[in-house]
Amino acid sequence: MSKVVLVDRDGVINHDKVDSVCSVADFQLIAGADKAIAQMCSLGFQVLVITNQACVGRGSTTMETIALIHHKMCAEIKKAGGEIADIFVCPHTPEDLCRCRKPLPGLIFQAHAKYHFVFAETWMVGDAARDIEAARNAGCRPARVLTGRGAGSNRKYENVPVFADLLAFSNFLTESNPISIRSGNYP
């Protein structure tokens, strides 16, 4: 079984935009996200990105451009010593009613089919309600960051630890021993 952390992209790894990140020029890492992924990799985790990209379905960009954005993201993370093992993308709009769009767990199930992780031991880190719901719908452990859509939100979710950003989550993994992570003793 693989040791995996699932991570949303927009608002967690990179700054989100109201009208979506539709070009390479739009892509800008959140400070410390590259170091967080490098740290998780050094702990033996494979980092998998789980991302909705309705901008493709709306015609605002193409899957080819999304691939270029992901190439830039991976290159910047690699400079910090980290690696994104894989990226799972839903290009559909909410109106498409697909099974892969978060909050449905389709992308997580796709990742599981390839990486064979244990759902109950796998964290899904996101900034939005749909990330928390997707994690729960798949049986994963949700974690919320206060960047992106999480910034300024006072919404609380039962049994969901909250972190300032992805680096704070990664520090939690570093500081926690396996027993405290499994038992749910959160900061």
- Residues annotated catalytic, as ranges: 8, 10
Nearest C-alpha neighbor of 74 from the set 39, 112, 34: 34
Distances (CA, A) of 148 to 3, 8, 14, 62, 69: 26, 11, 8, 23, 18
One-character DSSP codes across 129-164: HHHHHHHHHHT-EEEEESSGGGTT-----TT--EES
